[in-house]
Amino acid sequence: GAGVSQTPSNKVTEKGKYVELRCDPISGHTALYWYRQSLGQGPEFLIYFQGTGAADDSGLPNDRFFAVRPEGSVSTLKIQRTERGDSAVYLCASSFTSGRGGEQFFGPGTRLTVL
Amino acid sequence: DQQVKQNSPSLSVQEGRISILNCDYTNSMFDYFLWYKKYPAEGPTFLISISSIKDKNEDGRFTVFLNKSAKHLSLHIVPSQPGDSAVYFCAASPRNRDDKIIFGKGTRLHILP
């Protein structure tokens, strides 16, 4: 069975550019999460979707970051006017249900480097 | 301000011995705690969890202990095996915020042959 997949695995971009990071969750999982892991840190919560809607986007650092999940499956994290400080591994996770009953399964992440 | 603290960046343990990974938290609203394991170039994988109504949860070689008064939890792995070499993240979830998991910085465990 396929796990959570993320594309691309690596993305190098220049400061000021726009990037999109894609997450394909496990089929049937209704909850989807984005995290960011900077060097030497643990994953940091960004946003959580239940179905198509963003149930909690309190972790997005500023309005340059936006995420969508239009059909309740694939999600795209969009970063505008990238800055060097955005360099990190962006992790996606999905779960069958939200809350304590739903174990989060993580993808391998997208390593974003902003030059 | 780290709400979940793993003060040991790394730990080396002889194969077959017990590995003890420690974690402290500051937020008294946390009532559910998790440990994740991460290999290089892979995402974290769930290992074991514990609710604040318990003080111990065991799953095979892995046991998590929770001391609420000290706001401290620990993960015991016994016996340690080479495949246990990985980064271990302690994480916590606040009461009534099931969707939110706050992670520590992780502890890199090396199992020595």
Give tens-digit pLDDT for B38-96. Answer: 999 899 999 999 999 999 999 999 999 999 999 999 999 999 999 999 999 999 988 77
Residue type, B65: F
pLDDT, greater one: A19 or A56: A19
Lookup result for tokens 């271990």: B88
Q: What is the pLDDT of residue B98?
A: 66
CA distance B105 to chain A (A): 4
Of A94-108, B31-45, B48-62, B97-111, the least confident: A94-108
The predicted pLDDT at position A99 comes to 64
The radius of gyration of chain B's CA atoms, rounded to the nearest angstrom, is: 13
Residue A45 has pLDDT above 80, yes or no: yes
Rounded Cα–Cα distance for residues A101 and A45 (Å):
18
With bands split at pLDDT 50, 70 and 90, how would you rate the model's confidence at A66? very high
What is the number of alpha carbons within 13 Å of residue B100 lying toward its C-beta?
A: 16
Q: Is the pLDDT of residue A19 over 70?
A: yes
Provide CATH code, domain B4-112. 2.60.40.10
- At residue A97, does pLDDT exceed 80? no
Query: What percentage of chain A exceeds 70 in pLDDT?
Result: 95
Asked whether B97 and A37 are in contact (CB, 8 A), the reply is: no
| Domains in chain B: boundaries | 4-112
Mean pLDDT of B28-43: 93
Report how far apart, in Å, the C-alpha atoms of B58 and of each of B25, B85, B106 are. Answer: 21, 20, 21
| Mean of per-residue pLDDT scores for chain A | 93
Mutate to test the interface with B, among A106, A110, A111 (most CBs of B within 10 A): A106
C-alpha A111, offset from chain centre: 11
* Alpha-carbon distances of B46 from A6, A21, A72, B65, B98, rounded to whole Å: 18, 23, 23, 16, 15
CB distance from A65 to chain B under 8 Å?
no
Phi, psi of A86 (to 5 degrees): -80, -10
Distance CA B63, CA B8 (A): 19
Question: What is the domain partition of chain A in residue ranges?
Answer: 5-114
DSSP secondary structure code for residue A108 in this structure: -
Tell which CATH architecture fits domain A5-114: Sandwich (2.60)
Asked if the model's pLDDT at residue A1 lies above 90, the reply is no
A45 to B42: CB separation less than 8 angstroms, yes or no:
no
Provide CB contacts within 8 A for A101, sequence distance 6+: none
